[in-house]
Structure 1
Amino acid sequence: MNTTFTKRLPKAEKLFIPFIVAGDPHPLVTVDLALSLQEEGASILELGIPYSDPLADGPVIQKASARSLKNGTTLESSMKLVSFMRKKGLKIPVIIFTYYNPVLQLGEDNFFALARENGVDGLLIPDLPYEESEQLRQRCLEEGIKLISLVAPTSSGRIEKIAKHAQGFLYCVSSLGVTGVRDTLHSEVYSFLQEVKKHSSIPVVVGFGISNSSQVEALKEHCDGIVIGSALVQRIEDLLPVLMDEDTRETALYRFKSYIRSVLSPINS
């Protein structure tokens, strides 16, 4: 298992964890996007599984999921897509980001068999509370799959317990509500991150709403890594016509990578 998942990092080294939706705007384009993210220094890839009834996703990711569902994307096809990414040269760990219902419908045995077959490294289920995750967490330990835990500002009184059993990295939600681009960060996010770091022996990363270099600059001394999701998915939507045309896809990917470089400049300079 990649050591990204096993230890806190030197202060100067920061994780970049991007989120994209499997099958958006097309499975083959998803592969190109994943490889582009790796080229731009992604440490871990969060691969979102499209879902018709999301609880945590804002409008940007909901639209991407709708596009993907029109392509017939499922949890099973998304996991098989990881294998194709591996064959094309993806080496970084891949986290499957899915709601619990698709896992329940597929069946845990089938899920873990597919994870083994296709090179999946971790699992993140935003609608599975910590208190109800013990059985799945134990199964993940047995299977060598990291079950990623979420901790939010509302987790007061539970932070130490969640951190004690967290695997891989600890995902801190920067603000309440659904995912989506935000212009500013909540003023209490910094004290929240410091509290989480007191209890965590694994990387503490922050996400939800991060979309520009000023936010990355403000957060970089307070965490071990940054998750960027909606901003990347919005960029994919903006580039849809160019991405979907094979003749112009390289141009679109260049623009996508340029945007990533601009956002991450505070931690890459």
Structure 2
Amino acid sequence: MHGNPPAALGSGAYVAGVAGAAALVAGRPLAAGAAVAVAGLCLGIVAGGLAVTRTRLLARRVASRATGLAVLALGLWVTWTGVQSGAGTRYQFTIGSVFLAVVGWAVMVRGDGAAGVADGDGRSETLAVLPWTTDGRGVTDARRRQLERLVDVAALVVVTGLFVRAAVLSDPSSWLFGGLFLAVFLPGARSRVRLTDAGLVTTRYVCWRVPFDLTQTPWTRVYGYEATDDRVTIATEFGPDLVYDRARIDDSERVVGVLDERVPRL
């Protein structure tokens, strides 16, 4: 159900690129520029996730044009600065930051445009809510959950170590690798699916409870469902089946009733 790059990740890249390029053009050291870019990445992901899951701000034409013009103006500023001061190492890093902002802008606008119905916009009524899941399937044993927690802790340790090294040694590469590692291995990724009158709305969270992405699967793309005493399985057109332990569903009878009204039983 997640066929497009998350708009929140694009927002993080956009803010990181803009902030890093602005810091470098302003004459900050490379390490400081990298630190600003990493901070912008984190703030951009959080802000972009909230914009995607709570509003449709990023999908509005005014917002997309304003953010696009901002990165265009930044590119012209960086080009003029490079012409005046020469294309040295700093200029190459600055151009790379602008390119990151452009890519982030494209992902941000396209990702939110395809995100579907946002929470609280009044266009979809929640009929039932399925349990939290960490892998899209909903059924995991205790050993699997412990392994996921260990992976989360390991990711945080690696990121923290890289950031400490960057701060102590003023090493821009450690800031960059730490930010990249954080973006790729965002810890605690979990999803929650809501059954609405329009279809399945999936909200993905990172860092355990930070909203990151929202997508919608219409009922026409749901093949059907199967309900037993132990599990509820929902088969969709794209991606793996959604499988839930029936004992973990708060109101399993309501969930089955909603599915029974809208999709065939397999």
TM-score by length of 2: 0.24
User: Larger % of helix: which?
Assistant: 2
Say which one has the larger Rg.
2
